[in-house]
Structures are given as structure tokens and as C-alpha cells.
Amino acid sequence: MPKIAIIILNWNQPQLTISTIESFLKIKHQNFSCQIVVVDNGSTDNSILKIKKFIHSLEIGNWKLEIIQNKENLGYSGGNNLGIKYALKNNFDYVLVANNDIRVNPNFLQILINEIKINPKQILAPKIYFEKGYEF
């Protein structure tokens, strides 16, 4: 069963990060396991406390959540690289880097897993919807 690490970078936006975590927790997964890794990029507000309080209030079933706290802001790539290093160190098969302002379809990871099984040597990216007429 493939293991997927979902990296979410946070900096002073706990509510956005919490909403993104809630979106991921709705994902239907039967033939793969997931772990959400929140990398706090040196937040100067109470982000860590709010995110930890939210995580501790959850009944998350077979989900695992990890928080990595940076002492300073390492920027977008530096913060995500810490999450990716965590995933590699813990033998995840796949890494998904997600911004903290996204919402996902509950079936999207299954669609990605199915595509990877067909063609394993690829990098996948979703279609991004901002608003009608602005799709990438």
C-alpha cells in the first residue's frame, strides 16, 4: 500500500491551514495511506498553538498528522524542503506539496494514484480553479 506525505506550509495563517487540513481529511482512501505534515515556517503569531489545538480536537481515524516547527522563515522552498526531507527520511512513496489555501476533491488522490500506476515516471499537477474563466 503506497504511503503519501502531504506537505502543507504555514506562516501566520492558522485558519487557512486548518481549512486545508479539513479538506484533506475528507479524502477517500482505501488502497493508500496518508500523513499530513504541517511545516510552520517560523510563524510569529499563535499559529502553532491554534493548529495543535485543532489537531488534538480531531477524531481522525487512520490519518496521521505531524507538525514541524521552524525557528525562522526559510521561505517557500526552504520550508517545503524540510517537509520533503521528513517524507524521504520516513520512507514515503509519494510527496504532495500543497499550499495552505487550497481545497481538494475527496477523490483526487485516488485519481492521482491510478494515473501513477499507469505511468509511474511522471510528475503530476492538478488543474487549478481560481474563479470562472481563470483556470490553469
CA distance 29 to 58: 18
1-10, 43-52, 94-103, 116-125: segment of lowest average pLDDT: 116-125
CA 49, 10, 111, 123 dihedral sign is: negative
- Residue 134 is predicted with a pLDDT of 60
- CATH number of the 3-135 domain: 3.90.550.10
Determine the Cα–Cα distance for residues 12 and 7; give it in Å rounded to an integer: 16
Q: Which of the residue ranges 5-9, 92-96, 117-121 would you say has the lowest mean pLDDT?
A: 117-121
More confident residue, 20 or 128: 20
- Kindly give, in sequence order, each residue whose CB lies less than 8 Å from that of residue 104, ignoring residues fewer than 6 positions away: 23, 24, 26, 27, 98
Q: What is the mean predicted confidence (pLDDT) over 65-88? A: 96
Q: How far apart are CA 119 and CA 124, in angstroms?
A: 11
Residue spans per domain, the chain: 3-135
What 3-state class would DSSP assign to 74?
A: coil
Residues of the chain with pLDDT > 90: what percent?
61
pTM for the model stands at 0.88
H/E element holding 110? helix 108-118
How many of the other CB atoms lie within 10 Å of CB of 83?
Answer: 24
CB 67 within 8 A of CB 46: no
114 vs 40: which has the higher pLDDT = 40
Backbone region of residue 48 per phi and psi (left: phi > 0; alpha: psi in -120 to 50; beta: other values): alpha
pLDDT on residue 92: 96
Report pLDDT digits (tens) over 10-55.
Answer: 999 999 999 999 999 998 777 888 999 999 999 999 999 999 999 8
